[in-house]
Amino acid sequence: MDFDEFREFGHASIEFIINYLSGIRERDVLPSVAPYSVINQLPKEIPEKPEHWREVLKDLEHIILPGLTHWQSPYFNAFFPSSSSAGSIVGELLIAGIGVLGFSWICSPACTELEVVVMDWLAKFLKLPEHFQHASDGPGGGVIQGSASEAVLVAVLAAREQAVLSCKETHPELSESEVRGKLIAYSSDQSNSCIEKAGVLAAMPIKLLPADEDLILRGDTLRKAIEEDVAAGRIPVICIATLGTTGTCAYDDIESLADVCQASKVWLHVDAAYAGGGFALEECAELRRGLDRVDSLNFNLHKFMLVNFDCSAMWLRDANKVVDSFNVDRIYLKHKHEGQSQIPDFRHWQIPLGRRFRALKVWITFRTLGAEGLRNHVRKHIALAQQFESFVRNDSRFEMVAPQALGLVCFRPRGDNENTTQLLQRLMERKKIYMVKAEHAGRQFLRFAVCGMDAKPSDIEFAWTEIESQLTAQLAEKSLAEVARKPSNVSDLRQHFQMHLASDGGGTHEKSQ
């Protein structure tokens, strides 16, 4: 492909994206395809001869798009948002166009230095403690990981290696494998699945402690677990707290957890994958309580900061603990500016060697929206969630399950779990909106998350009309079914009573029937 053709392809692709995004409300949010439909429409091998890009875009339109779930639709209300913006999309294109990798400073100095700058911008914007900035005097700093899962895993692995080091000093009688066999970590039973997975990958059990009735993990629970484990000869390593749990966006009590972690020399990591966006707002200042005492934290820009997937910010109070844990060198990776402050080699802060120039899309997003635009975005999601909550509260057939938090509302139709299951099933079959279920203490509920690239109050009204009208239909069908099950005329009644009399052995229960 020459540059002229590349230009044409590029322009057509941008047009394609604009048409897709501007018409996204016209599509059902969930696809209507059966399993294998995409596989069956595509050739089994790479085409031998090059094909024209127009043919590729045509297949994208006719084969791929029908098989998509539309994450950027405002009617996508499942999980948490996977945010995006024009600046970020163009940033992604430019990243691919420039095509550099930035695992060490010399590989592309601007790649590393822009990341240092945007991570410090973000730390200030989110009002994080100063020690998390590269520009601070201490060893702290931020890095962009691909996902919250990677950030959590990095924290877990680093904490594990630090614990092994210190244990070898305090217990020289133990072999390294004996030490490793005693390590133990903690999180709440409300934490994201990626935390349990980090434990599996790090070969270190993570105990999922029961959150309190209000779904919050507090220091007392952690203290008891640590005391029990220490008494049993285990070595506590890390606690992963959550600000904004996936189920209900509950906030663990960081202050009380920090008290316990500090006393027990346990690493405290905070997973704020979604709720970290709230740190930017004065009205959500409560959320930041205790962050000055944590060792590391992560926040997904791809959830709440208008940067498209993948982009997950991670900050460390002492980056040396990670760098020292993961430092594996080769002569071909060395350069003469290694080890200078503010010139990190980010390969030591992450799992892969290669790394994308994600800082570019962050920089472009931040500059094209400004801090004001980013704050407005978070505020808009909160306001839309409040709008949805007011619909729930004004309809006595529904109940709230947890307090509305940021852009998330957890609610259910009153009655047993079957009502919730059936309602969700109806909604999924109609494909107009997409939500998922969650469960706490045996009660199932629906999560309505404000998502989409440009959600509006009219979208919330659309979603609510869909939900409440489907409940109306469900309840009407249920009543009809009940009536159909009940005896409705004299001969039915006679038959009904006879059945009961027969099964009761001829007793005299007629009156109570």
Q: Which residues bind ligand PLP (CB under 6 A)?
A: 79-80, 147-149, 192, 194, 242, 244-246, 271, 273-274, 300, 312
Q: Which is nearer to ligand PLP, 235 or 438 (CB)?
A: 438
Residues 88/364, Cβ–Cβ less than 8 Å: yes
How far is 71 from 91, CA to CA, in rounded Å?
19
Least distance to ligand PLP, CB of residue 96, Å: 21
Region of residue 244 (left: phi > 0; alpha: psi -120 to 50; beta: else): left
Rg, C-alpha atoms of the chain: 27
Strands 183-188 and 206-209 come out as parallel
Name the active-site residue from 19, 40, 77, 192. 192
Q: Which is nearer to ligand PLP, 189 or 338 (CB)?
A: 189
Cβ burial, residue 183 (10 Å; 0-12/13-18/19+): buried
Least distance to ligand PLP, CB of residue 351, Å: 13
How far is 41 from 203, CA to CA, in rounded Å?
42
Q: Which is nearer to ligand PLP, 192 or 470 (CB)?
A: 192
Which runs of E-coded beta strand occur in 173-242?
183-188, 206-209, 235-242
Residues 260/222, Cβ–Cβ less than 8 Å: yes
Least distance to ligand PLP, CB of residue 490, Å: 59
Least distance to ligand PLP, CB of residue 72, Å: 16
Q: Which is nearer to ligand PLP, 85 or 312 (CB)?
A: 312
Supply the DSSP symbol for 411.
E
Q: Which is nearer to ligand PLP, 13 or 147 (CB)?
A: 147
Q: Which is nearer to ligand PLP, 148 or 359 (CB)?
A: 148
Nearest to 226 by CA among 260, 251, 201: 260
Residue 298 annotated as catalytic:
no
Angle at 409 between CA 407 and CA 411, to 5 degrees: 170
Which runs of E-coded beta strand occur in 115-234?
141-145, 183-188, 206-209
DSSP output for 437-489: EEEETTEEEEEEE--STT--HHHHHHHHHHHHHHHHHHHHHHHHHHHHHS--S
Least distance to ligand PLP, CB of residue 211, Å: 13
How far is 390 from 460, CA to CA, in rounded Å?
11
Least distance to ligand PLP, CB of residue 398, Å: 24
Instruction: For CA atoms 308, 309, 310, 312, give the dihedral sign.
Output: positive
Least distance to ligand PLP, CB of residue 275, Å: 8
Q: Which is nearer to ligand PLP, 147 or 422 (CB)?
A: 147
Nearest to 149 by CA among 306, 236, 273: 273
Least distance to ligand PLP, CB of residue 382, Å: 17
Contacts 24+ apart (CB under 8 A), 385-388: 385/409, 385/448, 385/450, 387/457, 387/460, 388/448, 388/450, 388/460, 388/463, 388/464
DSSP output for 306-321: SPPSS-EEEEES-HHH
DSSP output for 248-269: T--B--HHHHHHHHHHHT-EEE
Q: Which is nearer to ligand PLP, 85 or 149 (CB)?
A: 149
Residues that are catalytic: 192
